[in-house]
A = this chain, B = another copy of it.
Amino acid sequence: MGQTEGKHGSILRATLELISEHGFHGTSMSKVAKKAGVSAGIIYHYFSNKDELINELYIGVKRDFSEMIIKRLDESQSLRKQIRELVKSTIEVSVRRPEEMLFMEQFLQSPYNRPQIQDTVNTYYEPIMNVFNKAKQEQIIKPLPDPVIFALTLDVAVSLAKQHAAGSLHMDEELIEKVTEACWESIRQ
């Protein structure tokens, strides 16, 4: 792993794994170094400090997630189908990548989360926002504020993926379909 992605990547990956498993509290720079197979000092060559390491990780993970979800969008389809696809993709991606998902959830509740970071990250989600906004304009879904639309769809998706990761719920294809339907019904006009 360390060979193909370089030290920069090894450090990010080690940080991700440690935080997703042991939380921010249990993730010291020296543990990151050990897990990444590098010296403690070299981390500061690639990242100016712990804050930047974690912020960069968060932004990268967020971009990866948005890309994976956007990649599945098919603009030739109806907005209704596109929105349902967004919900489904979010669940599936979050279930398939539990470490990244758990890390993002922890980040949101941590002091590392600053408004400026969210501003950066939100730009990645603009294509997704656009789908919802178009649907709002065409009066296909309810005229609710963006954060509410998100809470009713994508936040629900992540919430379920978290329970799947915790083992308290098994998200199979059938259940994903049903949940997607439920989310859709909450926002449809």
List chain A positions with a Cβ less than 8 A from chain B: 22-26, 105-106, 109-111, 142, 144-145, 147-148, 151-152, 155-156, 159-160, 163, 168-169, 175, 178-179, 182-183, 185-188
Q: Which among A142, A155, A188 has the highest number of chain B CB atoms within 10 Å?
A: A155
Copies of the polypeptide in the assembly: 4
Query: Is A152's CB under 8 angstroms from B156's CB?
Result: yes
Please classify the interface of chain A as helix (H, G, I), strand (E, B), loop, or mixed, using the class held by over half of its residues.
Answer: helix
* CB of A88, distance to nearest CB on chain B (Å): 15
* CB of A177, distance to nearest CB on chain B (Å): 12
- Across-interface contacts of A24 in B (CB, < 8 A): 25
* CB of A142, distance to nearest CB on chain B (Å): 7
With both beta carbons as reference points, the residue of chain B lying nearest to A151 in the complex is identified as B159
With both beta carbons as reference points, the residue of chain B lying nearest to A141 in the complex is identified as B182
CA distance A25 to B51 in the complex (A): 13
Query: Is B106's CB under 8 angstroms from A148's CB?
Result: no
Q: A151-B160, A182-B187 are in contact. List 18 more A-B contacts (CB 8 A).
A: A23-B110, A25-B110, A26-B111, A105-B109, A109-B109, A144-B182, A145-B175, A147-B169, A148-B160, A151-B156, A151-B159, A151-B163, A152-B182, A155-B155, A155-B156, A159-B159, A183-B186, A185-B188
